[in-house]
Amino acid sequence: MIKLDVLAIGSLQRDEKGNVFDAHSSSVLIRTDERMIVVDTSTPYMKPAIKTSFKQIGVFPKDVDTVVLTHFHFDHVGNNDMFENADILMHPDECGVIDGAKPLDIDREIVPGVKIVHTPGHTKGSISVFVKADQKYVIAGDAIPKYSNYKKMVPPAINTDEELALESVKIITKYADAIIPGHDPPFLVSR
């Protein structure tokens, strides 16, 4: 039985000109029979919130054995140091950017029910985590940063390849019953 908990809800604020001035990513805990996985570690600003979530759930950061990073941007990787016993895994193309990170097997399950899917476009090495729990979840990172990207079917404003980015939005939406975006609360996909 896979359990999924949102440790921190991502947020993003823009000024009047539309420039981002404050960004903190979502952080998610996945518990399976074999593994304790955190997807994205957000920013140091969110550390107290993440610690509170661990207390409420009743597990400890030291018990996390795997940290999966959706991509290398600073607002997704800021609390890696909380997880002293974890392997830090990400797309092979982006490993070099983050201290101690190791390459993920792409488009494979890391444990039954938890699959890493390459969803490029925001960055070249962006990945999403597809989870089959009580329903089908996708932890999308910035492949789908905001609810509005899903609602309007538009790629993330920050991207390295707009076409690929839109394709990734579609791949995620097709699979998911619920999406945990990089910088918004989780939401349900309507069919």
Say if CB 182 and CB 70 are below 8 A apart: yes
Q: Between the CA of residue 55 and those of 27, 49, 144, what are the distances in Å?
A: 15, 10, 28
Stretch that binds Zn ion, among 9-17, 45-53, 138-146, 164-172 (CB under 5 A): 138-146
Smallest distance, Zn ion to C-beta of residue 73, A: 3
Q: From the list 78, 142, 143, 181, which residue makes contact with Zn ion (rule: CB under 5 A)? A: 142
Nearer to Zn ion, 31 or 73 (CB): 73
Stretch that binds Zn ion, among 48-56, 72-80, 107-115, 160-168 (CB under 5 A): 72-80
> Structure tokens of 66?
């795997």
Nearer to Zn ion, 32 or 42 (CB): 42
Pairing state of beta strands 20-24 and 27-31?
unpaired
| 3-class SS of residue 191 | coil
Say if CB 183 and CB 11 are below 8 A apart: yes
Position closest to Zn ion via CB: 73
**Any contact of residue 40 with Zn ion (CB under 5 A)?**
no
Nearer to Zn ion, 73 or 115 (CB): 73
Minimal CA–CA distance to 106: which of 93, 87, 88?
Answer: 93
**Number of residues in contact with Zn ion under rule CB under 5 A:** 2
DSSP track, 84-131 = TTPEEEE-GGGGGGSTT-EEPPTTEEEETTEEEEE--SSSTT-EEEEE
Smallest distance, Zn ion to C-beta of residue 127, A: 12
Stretch that binds Zn ion, among 59-67, 87-95, 112-120, 134-142 (CB under 5 A): 134-142
Smallest distance, Zn ion to C-beta of residue 176, A: 19
Nearer to Zn ion, 44 or 112 (CB): 44
Smallest distance, Zn ion to C-beta of residue 158, A: 6
Which secondary structure element, helix H or strand E, spans residue 169, and what is its range? helix 162-175
**Any contact of residue 73 with Zn ion (CB under 5 A)?**
yes
Which secondary structure element, helix H or strand E, spans residue 77, and what is its range? none
Residues near Zn ion (CB under 5 A): 73, 142
